[in-house]
Structure 1
Amino acid sequence: MISSERNNSTIDSVSGNHLTNLSAVVAVLTFRRPDDLMELLPELLKHSLQASVGYGIRQPTVLVVDNDPEGGARETVTRFGPGVTYVHEPTPGIAAARNRALAESVDVDLLVFIDDDERPTSGWLTSLLATRMRTGADGVVGPVVSAFAAPLDPWIADGGFFDRRRLPTGTEVRVAATNNLLLDLRLVRSLSLQFDESFSASGGSDSLFTRQYTGAGFTLVWCDEAVVTDVVPAERATRDWVIRRRYRIGNSWARTELALIPAHSHTLRLRAALLLAGSVRVIGGTARAALGVLGRSPRHRANGIRIAARGAGIVAGACGRTYLEYSRPTGA
């Protein structure tokens, strides 16, 4: 486990709010979404230019990591010329793609992750940089809001399945996803930190990575102005999908908690605590859902099911079970 002490003067010397002449990369991980790339890449090029003009950093490079074994995104990406770099990472799994982004950025100071199905809003990248400069934080996290390809099922909306956190700018956080995240790569390299590829098919490698980053004493702060929009296709806006996603989130959270403790420490005690926490959610969520049925309240029923599904995932993770949401068919 990485030490939580931050006493390395070399590490401290690269932190802070200095941005002039720093290099930066905006990394997009993709898997068979050419239409999304065609929409996203022009936006990223525009944001990169704005960042170089407004903050004195060298114009960020846009890096596309194609996780399709067949390299299907190459033709799409090469249309954008030298402003966009294409690399092919055939090893399946998002953690492998994230690690490839790190490997391709060994001489870069700052790395910004964004998903291929997201769209940055006005001022996105400059807001991330401004918050880092103003706060001196070691990383910056921005919000993700969802937009839907079709009208959202009211039951899903009532359950808050697509609700995400919003915090005041400058709020310190200890964990983040890589769907809207700026990191100081000099600090990442000082820890020899990588994404754990045992989480590739289950999700959660980004949560583990950022927990290790903040656990080493580095700071992540929130920037509520740096918004990206998550474009949700119809097949992901179904009751079955959102319930399974909540189960996976609970499962990944439990596995992350277990991965963060040393192998020789009180693993059984933590598993018991997770089992209790998950069981409380299952019981409480089930009771709320039942009350929703009796009281004819779709909101209570949906929220109860959401809570119970996450709790069931935590219980499964505590018992050593892994839900592989991102597993691919052979050859995919």
Structure 2
Amino acid sequence: MVETPSLVVAVLTFRRPQDLAALLPLLTAQLVAVGDLHPLARVLVVDNSPEAGARDLVARTPGPVDYAHEPVAGIAAARNRALDEARSDDLLVFIDDDERPTEGWLRALLGERSRSDAVVVAGPVVSSFAVPPGPFVAAGRFFDRRRLPTGSPIDVAATNNLLLDLRKVRGLGLRFDPATGATGGEDTLFTRSVHARGGRMTWCDEAVVHDIVPAARITPRWVLLRALSSGNSWSLTSLQLAEGLPAQLRTRLALHALGLIRIAGGTAQAAVGALLGRPYHRARGVRTAARGAGMLLGAWNVRYREYRRPSANR
């Protein structure tokens, strides 16, 4: 008799009670939908707020929902807490508290893992907006994310819609790097490390979640700082993956050059877009230049701390 793998769906939260309250019933419904495959599956809420503000909400939520408080600030600490809470489990799925899974989401992820026997299965995130994007953000399509045919191999993924085969993750000896707690990029480093160590990662295009983008993020400033942060974390993780001083030096110089190329190319594209009245090229050019600036900074270990907290009670 084949033993059924145990399953945990982990949602990390930080002071978003309304989002969490909307998400939890959807997750327990997803568990019911895969009950024939994983009858003992559970939801795990990892609360990263210092005051443990989500504890009462979770306690009032019906169904197999567990709670863990992680007082150490930072997304990496919260993700590692999820790994620790699932130390006896086989499969772990990450979803963010501001996301909403579509019907069949969890079954699709599980099905692709069974077919591919992958260490990691990732799915698409489609944005929904609290307010309509302004002209600059709309023109640049900043919230459009990749879509790939199901089964496509991938070499990097975000953790906002991700399944991990924990048995294989433990075999690779991987955890999330605490140094990325304030900078972000913990998912980039983690999944790139899986790939670098020979772990198979695949895409499941049917496993769609929607993220709810608040008005504060639908601004030129936010999307450009996110592009800078993305470039910065790519350089920093590339340097961490380079083994030995010669490899690190080569990587650093390559990232430096690539950052400069992106800054120059993006600036030129933005200028042409402005001159010719083409908003898409203007917006994408500015984004490319911002990502290049982040890469250039990261090449020389300058960290943009996107998730820094001004105090213990951010």
TM-score class normalised by the smaller sequence: over 0.9
Contact 2:136/2:283, CA 8 A, preserved across alignment: yes
Q: How does 1:39-58 map to 2 (within 5 A)?
A: 39-53=22-36, 56-58=37-39
- Equivalents in 1 of 2:238, 2:292: separation in Å? 14
Matched with 2:11 is 28
Matched to 1:240, the amino acid is: R
Aligned length: 313
- Equivalents in 1 of 2:63, 2:101: separation in Å? 21
Contact 2:47/2:69, CA 8 A, preserved across alignment: yes
SS of corresponding position for 1:63 = strand
SS of corresponding position for 2:35 = helix
**TM-score, length-normalised on structure 2?**
0.97
- Equivalents in 2 of 1:214, 1:39: separation in Å? 34
Contact 1:23/1:57, CA 8 A, preserved across alignment: yes
SS of corresponding position for 2:34 = helix
Note the alpha carbon deviations across 1:157-194, whole angstroms, 9 max, x for none. 21121111000000010111110000100111112211
Q: How does 1:116-265 map to 2 (within 5 A)?
A: 116-265=97-246
Note the alpha carbon deviations across 1:236-275, whole angstroms, 9 max, x for none. 0011110100000000000010010124343222111001
Shift of 1:20: 5.4
Q: How does 1:264-279 map to 2 (within 5 A)?
A: 264-279=245-260
- Equivalents in 2 of 1:263, 1:26: separation in Å? 37
**Structure 1 residues 276 and 40, CA, compared in 2 at 3 Å: closer, same or farther?**
same
Matched to 1:43, the amino acid is: L
- Equivalents in 2 of 1:305, 1:105: separation in Å? 42
* Alignment partner of 1:114 out of 95, 107, 127: 95
Q: CA RMSD for the aligned pairs?
A: 1.3
Note the alpha carbon deviations across 1:31-63, whole angstroms, 9 max, x for none. 00000010000000000111122xx22332100
Note the alpha carbon deviations across 1:56-91, whole angstroms, 9 max, x for none. 223321000000011011111111145100000000
Matched to 2:115, the amino acid is: R
Contact 2:262/2:291, CA 8 A, preserved across alignment: yes
- Equivalents in 2 of 1:209, 1:78: separation in Å? 31
Q: Greater CA deviation, 20-29 or 111-120? A: 20-29
Matched to 1:26, the amino acid is: V
**TM-score, length-normalised on structure 1?**
0.92
- Equivalents in 2 of 1:104, 1:325: separation in Å? 26
Matched with 1:76 is 57
Shift of 1:132: 1.3
- Equivalents in 1 of 2:115, 2:287: separation in Å? 38
Matched, 1:312 2:287: no
- Equivalents in 2 of 1:71, 1:265: separation in Å? 45
Contact 2:101/2:210, CA 8 A, preserved across alignment: yes
Q: Greater CA deviation, 40-49 or 214-223? A: 214-223
Name segments (4+ residues, structure 1) moved above 6 Å.
none
- Equivalents in 2 of 1:230, 1:19: separation in Å? 36
Matched with 1:91 is 72
- Equivalents in 2 of 1:57, 1:215: separation in Å? 30
- Equivalents in 2 of 1:90, 1:135: separation in Å? 36
- Equivalents in 1 of 2:138, 2:2: separation in Å? 41
Give structure 1 stretches of 5+ with no counterpart: 1-17
Matched, 1:295 2:276: yes
